Amino acid sequence: MSVDMDVLEFDPSKINWDGLKTPYRFLIDTFVAIEKTTSRLKIIDCLTNMLRTITYHDPESVLPAVWLSSNAIAPSYEGIELGIGSQILTKAITSVSGASSKTLKQYYIKYGDWGDVAYAAKVSVRTLMEPKPLTVGKVYDTFISISKLRGLGVVDQKTNLVKKLLISCKGEEIRYLTRTLVQNLRIGAVKTTCLIALAHAFCLTRPTNMVIGEPLDDKNRLFVEDVSKESKDSLNTKLKAAEKLLKECYAQFPNYNGIVKCLLEHPIEKLLDFCHLTVGVPLRPMLGEITRDLGQVFKNFEGILFNCEYKYDGQRAQIHMDTNEKVTIFSRNLENMTDKFPDVVKLIPQICLNNVNSFILDCEIVAINPEGIIQNFQTLTNRSRKNVELSSITIPIHIFAFDLMYLNGESLLKKSLRERRELLRARFAEIPNRFTYVNHIETLDPEEIHLFFKESIEFGCEGIMIKILDDPPNNLENKIRMNLLTSYEPDKRIKSWLKVKKDYVDGIGDSLDVVPIAAWYGNGRKAGWWSPILLAIYNPDAETFEGVCKCMSGFSDEFYKELKSRYSQENDNISKQKKWYFDVDDSLRPDAWFEPIEVWEIKGSDITISPVYKAAIGKVDPNKGLSLRAPRFIRVREDKNIVDATTSKQLAELFYKQIKERKVEEFIEESENV
């Protein structure tokens, strides 16, 4: 039995570990099989079969296997990190291999990957005694131990634990263990892929010791008792339903610890009964769909009452308070930023009316001056980020609340926006210049919305949000109706929330959120700096970053200096080797490839069809991609994760919107330009 088999032919019982714990080698064999394919379906099959096997033989190792496959060891909001850099890796690898630090540096220049460096240095080393084989559980437990180390001598302590793991590694285990240490696994098993594999695994295999209560009827049952007796259509329906269930659960409760525990103890159909919206666990926020044509909005949704809100230039935040009045604040990317806002923590009990004992609300935190005038986002970023003391705060903030997802032990996700908003306004007290509701209007009048949009810009906002208050009538076509639901839909971007920003309306929608992925060495005055920078958009279907343009405009000298320092060999985030998930034409040969770690906002003059750049390739032209002409850097989007960058689909939509008023030929780029 091999994990790269079709899941319908794979039988986990045929793999035998003689009752022992899951060998780390089994996980690594899966990673090797995955790296040999570019097919996302094949990757999912490999992960599914791996998880099914562990579920069948060693259920306790399922959770460690999931974490080790997902390039993490804990939920992001818990802030648990390995903290392994080049210093620790160099000390550990030189110690176990005998290779000098100079040799390792040469290997890194050659390969650009710490896993390949460790493999090249140690693979030929022989030990006097055969080390005890590693298990998945042992590796994961050691990683957790590493993450907990603090204080004096922490570098040596971490180095010793890494050394012990490397000594026990054989063959490919060395490569992938080292990649996991630096969180660069390179197997394409990101969030969506892991969730789908987990759903498929527990749809097809249960732990042998699971106690099943009252059986579900066939209509509601997702578990497949016997694949051979299931029709292909029925099987696909169940697998898709399981995927949908896992994604819905993870959007509300993004914590594999709880999800895997539930799957091991209860049938998959019961997942949402145990893992659901919970105070203290950030849900993935609902997102607004970008619109660049207010006229089209009015045409499509004629007769539907809109709620229009100011879109403030601040930081989106989820504020949680439990029954003990413990306040936790999470960012848009689910990072815990409670320590950054002690003034918010102090304020929250003051806004709760007597009948509020727990809640989760969605809001925008905005910087203000002493007179209460809102400031731009850049001002907010000047606040200290960690362990902030109340006495040290010089930049006050204002909370603008716009949604309520949980109240007094009850999830409000399925309630309409009107119901959620009424509860928000009834249960929380406004405090001028500290906590208020977003400025809003309810209207059907296009002229009134245009005027409101203009006022928002004059007030210093980014634009407005247009939201539908009430669920649409049942006589609408189902697909249209599902896009207009007014429930709070975590981790989804649907048409019932529309984002209208000044940038989108002013021109061709030339504001893009992109990821810097590579650079060339600068010339002349810019010698010693990175210039130009290769930028990319995100393709969520292929889970790749597609090159879209080079940028060398809009940067200050100070930014150039910071950029050269930020992307450097000292920080282990540049290499000579292109990442497998960078979709960039071979004709583009930058001097260094970057780790994708941040999002930039840029503007340009036109979106053009390009024979060189692969952004949105196949969506406008079967063989060419899209590029942005005359790109100019605007700012770093600290509030966004790299997977929140502009997508291939969004870029193609921008292009088609642009050519409505001009000829297609105007946007064909004859040759690559800077």
Rounded CA-CA distance 617/651 in Å is: 10
Rounded CA-CA distance 9/584 in Å is: 36
Give a three-class secondary structure readout of 582-603: EECCCCCCCCEEECCCCCEEEE
Rounded CA-CA distance 534/548 in Å is: 8
Rounded CA-CA distance 223/232 in Å is: 14
Q: Which of 21, 158, 311, 603 is catalytic?
A: 311
Burial class (CB in 10 A: 0-12, 13-18, 19+), 546: buried
Sort strands 625-629 and 435-437 into parallel, antiparallel or unpaired.
unpaired
Count CA atoms within 13 Å of residue 137 on its CB side.
Answer: 9
Q: Which residues have CB under 8 Å from 528's CB, separation 6+?
A: 522, 564
Rounded CA-CA distance 434/351 in Å is: 10
Nearest to 597 by CA among 568, 556, 627: 568
Rounded CA-CA distance 121/167 in Å is: 12
Contact 285, 332 (CB under 8 A): yes
Whether the bond between 532 and the residue before it is cis, its omega within 30 degrees of 0, is yes
Read off the tokens for 262. Answer: 């539930």
Q: What is the full DSSP assignment across 36-98?
A: T---HHHHHHHHHHHHHHHHHH-GGGHHHHHHHHTT-SS-GGGT------HHHHHHHHHHHH-
Assess whether 158 carries a catalytic annotation.
no
Contact 45, 39 (CB under 8 A): no
Annotated active-site positions, please?
A: 311
